[in-house]
Structure 1
Amino acid sequence: MSSASATLAVWASAWLAGTAAPDDVLDALAPWSEAHDVLAADDGTAALTDLPGPGTTPTSTTLLLAAVRRAAPRGSARVVLPAPGDVRGLPGPGPFSREATTAGEGVLFPDAGLGVVPSPIADGVVRWTVHAVPDSGPVPEYVALNEAERDLRGQVRNAAAALSYMGVARHRPGVREEIAAALRGRPRALWPDGMPPQALRVLQQADEVDAILSAANGDAPGGALSASAAVARSDALRPIASAVRVARRAAVAEAVRVLVSVPRT
């Protein structure tokens, strides 16, 4: 499942490296929404990219790809998955960082000086808002996939313990089925040939832990948490959510590294 931003970061990087076609990128985005459109965040970005600006008719993701390629023909992308209090990977204060934090995701094209943030604007429509990001900030700290996977496995145990501690399973006997159904109902991400198997495994594990988090965040039917219990739950789940974000970023970064290093045919 991962996220629409992870999908765009991986596929756009493969396309820029010459190992995927533009239509491959568009097809990969399809599970996330029936339609995708693109709009520049402001008039300055519109002039810079030749994309439509505020108050005009949105364009397609095809023209977004064209704008990225004009700016950086051999660049790549990186996913950002910020949350309040966790701004790792963001370029610094500004509209892109603010919108990405609100959405919980975004894509930076550091070489192109652009960042995009997806958001649903109507049933079946996702809009990618394009921002000029002239300074993408420092290169994010490298996290080895082995390390991310090991931490994520540890957090699976922590998540199970947290569910037990907070009585989720006791108050909701069907919680395991609920988690499985949530996983089945999520979009099935498409990935390029040559995607590193370990990266795929870590993304799948992250999705599973994320589904557990969603279950743990749900109140028992007919009841509400006290303020102190809500704080305790938030404290217990925060490091687990952080591990999920770290694992997803590490998996996408490794996939991008591998895919852009493949020789052009």
Structure 2
Amino acid sequence: MCSPSATLTLWAGSWLAGRSAPDDVLEALHAWAPRHTLAAGDPVAGGRTDLPWSALGNGAGTGVMPLLKMIREALAVPGAELRLVLPVPGDVRGLPTGTAFATDAVEAGEGTVIGVPGAEGTGLIPYRTDDDALQWTVYSVPMPRVAGPDMSLGEAEYAMREAVRDAADALMQLHTTGLGAGDADPRELIEAELADYSRHIYPDCVPLRAKRILDSADHVAAILTVAQREPASAPTSASSASAHESLLRPLWDAIRAARLVAVHTAAPPAR
């Protein structure tokens, strides 16, 4: 699983559809951190929830159950939806523009929005406060009217097959164009990254095709992470940095798009 927000979206959706138990959701989220807290990210959310302001590490409502209760109440309204967002600068799809949530979600690279499209909803962003804790910051947001996956599962699966090949080619190119020389075996580093992803499990109700897409996206992300972190891919000049960006950025874009389609297709609607 790529992020706490993706885990929350899939498992909370499965629980509310009656396909997973609350303990399953707790176990899945605890794979990210053993301790979870809640705090408000804006004055409206603070007044609505009585949560403290979001000074990191000072969250209230310790434990995942208050978080799940909040999600259940937000989704109890007819027509409410639970959506994952994975924004980056230049790609803010699914965000309520001009809000504190949008700004913070871009910085965090993830979040979840809950509510009826076009009405006032709730945004959630997880922040790691230390090695053992995640704080879920709660925002009051206008729920965007359009979520939308812009491609089918079949298109996403094909895109990920292509991305696996392109990512491997990019890694090889970066290791052979003078961008540095590292001693570590890239294959071992990629396997270590994949092992970290595999700690996070999917609900049984996730369709096989969606799971394949998510697994392929993790594979590509592992390759790109190695390409970015290791000395063998460290840019040493402005021109090499530009080459580095042009090789990797389109692949990260493809990963985000495929993950969003897979998660939104796999997350069952609440009953």
The TM-score normalised by the length of structure 2 is: 0.87
Gaps of 5+ in 1: none
More displaced stretch, 129-138 vs 31-40? 129-138
Is 2:195 the partner of 1:184?
Answer: yes
**Residue 92 of structure 2 aligns with which residue?**
87
**Residue 68 of structure 1 aligns with which residue?**
71
CA shift in 2, pair 1:221/1:140, >3 Å: closer
**Residue 150 of structure 1 aligns with which residue?**
158
The alignment-based identity, stated in percent, is: 40
**Residue 181 of structure 2 aligns with which residue?**
171
Give the C-alpha shift of residue 147 in structure 1: 0.4
Q: Which SS does the other structure have where 1:70 is aligned?
A: helix
Q: Could you report, residue by residue, the CA deviation over 1:146-192 in whole angstroms, capped at 9, with x for unpaired residues?
A: 10111111122211221222226993461111111122134611222
Q: Could you report, residue by residue, the CA deviation over 1:94-142 in whole angstroms, capped at 9, with x for unpaired residues?
A: 1111111111111111337101001101121111101011232423243
| Counterpart residue identity of residue 124, structure 2 | V
**Residue 44 of structure 1 aligns with which residue?**
44
Q: How does 1:1-265 map to 2 (within 5 A)?
A: 1-54=1-54, 57-60=59-62, 61-73=64-76, 75-111=80-116, 113-167=121-175, 171-172=181-182, 174-186=185-197, 188-220=199-231, 225-256=236-267, 259-260=268-269
| Counterpart residue identity of residue 188, structure 2 | E
CA contact (8 A) 1:115 1:131 kept: yes
CA shift in 2, pair 1:161/1:93, >3 Å: same
Q: Which SS does the other structure have where 1:32 is aligned?
A: coil
CA RMSD of aligned residues (A): 2.4
Q: Which SS does the other structure have where 2:137 is aligned?
A: strand
CA contact (8 A) 1:13 1:76 kept: no
Give the C-alpha shift of residue 222 in structure 1: 11
- Aligned partners of 1:43, 1:242: CA distance in 2, in Å? 33
- Aligned partners of 2:97, 2:247: CA distance in 1, in Å? 28
Q: Could you report, residue by residue, the CA deviation over 1:208-249 in whole angstroms, capped at 9, with x for unpaired residues?
A: 100100111135269751111011111111110001101111
CA contact (8 A) 2:235 2:244 kept: no
More displaced stretch, 176-185 vs 238-247? 176-185
CA contact (8 A) 1:91 1:138 kept: no
CA contact (8 A) 1:50 1:67 kept: no
CA shift in 2, pair 1:158/1:57, >3 Å: closer
Aligned length: 260
Gaps of 5+ in 2: none
More displaced stretch, 144-153 vs 190-199? 190-199
- Aligned partners of 2:135, 2:170: CA distance in 1, in Å? 36
CA contact (8 A) 1:100 1:106 kept: yes
CA contact (8 A) 2:54 2:137 kept: no
